[in-house]
């Protein structure tokens, strides 16, 4: 279909956003729709259009962070329009990122509505010789429907709850462990423990276990309050959520021991802890989507374990992802934990021997 004087919305707030496109239409109207969409996209660069086979394929790609949304053209699209009915276009959104979802939904809805109006104007003008001015006010052939990959509407509480849980667990380890050891140093009781006939590693192990229990309890309290008070729904497997919380604890244990190793007193430990903790809170996607941050902040976020803990929890709790969909995050968290422990434990032993 040739479109003359095509008009589309300007000022789009998305650029090169990966969007999966499914065309199940058995007629020609679906292909014409795809052609129009590609023409617009070539001029605006608002999407990175990728192919998908069906709704389940889009769901998998969303869970794996390969795309930010999807468009589905149903198999009866052409037949509905040719029969005088409205053709239905489905926009699939990412409910784990409500800000981005609303932006994508708004831009795509306006774009598709503009495409539908221009299609109607062309058909009326070409077939029935209706003037463009008159045709513009007559028909809107497309109806846009938004659909999430899981039941429910996206909301900020659902988005922020997984990040808050990961952040609370991180704070429990990074504040509790340095405080516990530094307090023992300041009070002078640490010398007594070091003089006792026990392995020095058992001292830090006991402190780690105590702070781990504390962090887990705090994390579960936040999870309980999020569900009861704010209506947060855990779509995925609750056992996988618990496993990810434990893994978050493991990834930060080494960092807590490391801070303890080179600080002489509680004041210094607190200063170092705050210096590391606050940038992680705001750069790891806890409160704001990573996609809406400047590129250099997105680059820094890739080096922070809290980023992967938040992403994994959000995938499971909000999108219902299984363990295979969060495999990358799990491996990275395990890697962070192993590397930090490998550095921290020898340093702690050296510090305790002084």
CA distances from 138 to 78, 132, 303, 316 (A): 20, 10, 55, 46
What DSSP element (H or E) covers 199?
none
Give 250-270 pLDDT, tens digit per residue: 888 888 778 777 777 667 777
- Under the banding of pLDDT at 50, 70 and 90, the label for residue 34 is very high
Q: pLDDT tens, 90-115?
A: 999 988 888 788 888 888 888 888 88
How long, in residues, is the chain?
354
- Please give the average per-residue pLDDT across 39-44, as a whole number: 88
Mean pLDDT of the chain: 82
Q: Which helix (H) or strand (E) holds 61?
A: helix 55-63
More confident residue, 202 or 157: 157
CB 283 within 8 A of CB 301: yes
Q: Parallel, antiparallel, or unpaired: how do β-strands 87-93 and 69-73 relate?
A: antiparallel
CA 47 – CA 111 distance, rounded (Å): 12
Task: Evaluate if residue 195 carries a pLDDT over 80.
Answer: no
Helix, coil or strand: residue 18: strand
Strand bridging mode 69-73 / 17-23 = parallel
**Nearest of 257, 269, 276, 221 to residue 350 by alpha carbon:** 257
Taking a C-beta distance cutoff of 8 angstroms, is the pair 179, 266 a contact?
yes
Report the largest interatomic distance among the alpha carbons of the chain, rounded to a whole angstrom: 99
pLDDT at position 6: 41
Residue 323 has pLDDT above 60, yes or no: yes
**Is the pLDDT higher at 137 or at 150?**
150
Instruction: Read off the tokens for 305.
Output: 């374990």
3-state DSSP assignment of residue 208:
helix
**Average pLDDT for 2-25:** 67
Output the CA angle 249-252-255, nearest 5 degrees.
Answer: 155
- Count of CB atoms situated within 10 Å of the CB of 193: 14
Residue with tokens 């009861």: 228
* Per-residue pLDDT band at 141 (split at 50, 70, 90): low
pLDDT band at 241 (very low <50, low <70, confident <90, very high): very high
Three-state DSSP class for residue 154: coil
Residue 245 has pLDDT above 80, yes or no: yes
* 152 strand-pairing partners: none
For the chain, what is the total number of helices (H) and then of strands (E)? 13, 5
Domains of the chain, with CATH numbers?
Answer: 17-148 (3.40.1710.10), 156-352 (no CATH)
Q: What token pair was written down for 149?
A: 């990959």
Q: How many other C-beta atoms are found inside a 10 Å radius of the C-beta of residue 303?
A: 10
Alpha carbon distance 121, 133 (integer Å) = 9
Q: Is 107 helix (H, G, I), strand (E, B) or coil?
A: helix
Mean pLDDT of 268-275: 78
Asked if 256 and 177 count as a contact pair (C-beta separation under 8 A), the reply is yes
pLDDT at 227 over 50: yes
Alpha-carbon distance of 259 to 67, in angstroms, equals: 38
The residue with greater pLDDT, 133 or 125, is 125
Question: Could you give the 3-state DSSP secondary structure of residue 15?
Answer: coil
């Amino acid at each position: 279909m040739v479109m003359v004087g095509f008009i589309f919305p300007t000022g789009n707030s998305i650029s090169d956003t990966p969007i999966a496109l499914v065309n199940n239409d058995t007629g020609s109207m679906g292909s014409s729709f795809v052609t129009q969409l590609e023409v617009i996209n070539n001029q605006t660069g608002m999407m990175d259009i990728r192919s998908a086979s069906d709704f389940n394929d889009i769901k998998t790609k969303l869970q794996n962070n390969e795309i930010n949304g999807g468009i589905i053209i149903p198999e009866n699209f052409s037949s509905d329009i040719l029969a005088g009915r409205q053709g239905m276009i489905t926009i699939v959104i990412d409910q784990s990122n409500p800000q981005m979802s609303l932006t994508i939904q708004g831009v795509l809805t306006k774009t598709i509505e503009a495409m539908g109006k221009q299609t109607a104007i062309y058909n009326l003008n070409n077939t029935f010789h209706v003037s463009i001015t008159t045709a513009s006010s007559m028909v809107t052939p497309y109806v846009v429907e938004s659909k999430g990959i899981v039941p429910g509407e996206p909301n900020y509480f659902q988005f922020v709850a997984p990040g808050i849980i990961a952040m609370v667990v991180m704070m429990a380890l990074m504040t509790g462990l340095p405080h516990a050891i530094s307090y023992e140093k300041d009070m002078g009781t640490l010398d007594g423990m070091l003089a006792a006939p026990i392995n020095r590693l058992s001292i830090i192990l006991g402190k780690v276990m105590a702070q781990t229990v504390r962090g887990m309890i705090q994390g579960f309290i936040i999870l309980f309050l999020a569900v009861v008070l704010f209506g947060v729904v855990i779509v995925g497997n609750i056992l996988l959520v618990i496993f990810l919380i434990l893994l978050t604890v493991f990834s930060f244990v080494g960092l807590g021991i490391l801070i303890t190793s080179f600080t002489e007193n509680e004041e210094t430990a607190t200063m170092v802890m705050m210096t590391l903790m606050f940038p992680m809170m705001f750069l790891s996607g806890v409160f704001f989507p990573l996609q809406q941050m400047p590129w250099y902040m997105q680059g820094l976020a890739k080096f922070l374990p809290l980023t992967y803990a938040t992403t994994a929890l959000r995938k499971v709790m909000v999108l219902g992802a299984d363990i295979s969909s969060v495999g990358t995050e799990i491996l990275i968290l395990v890697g962070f934990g192993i590397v930090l422990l490998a550095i921290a434990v020898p340093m702690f032993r050296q510090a305790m021997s002084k």
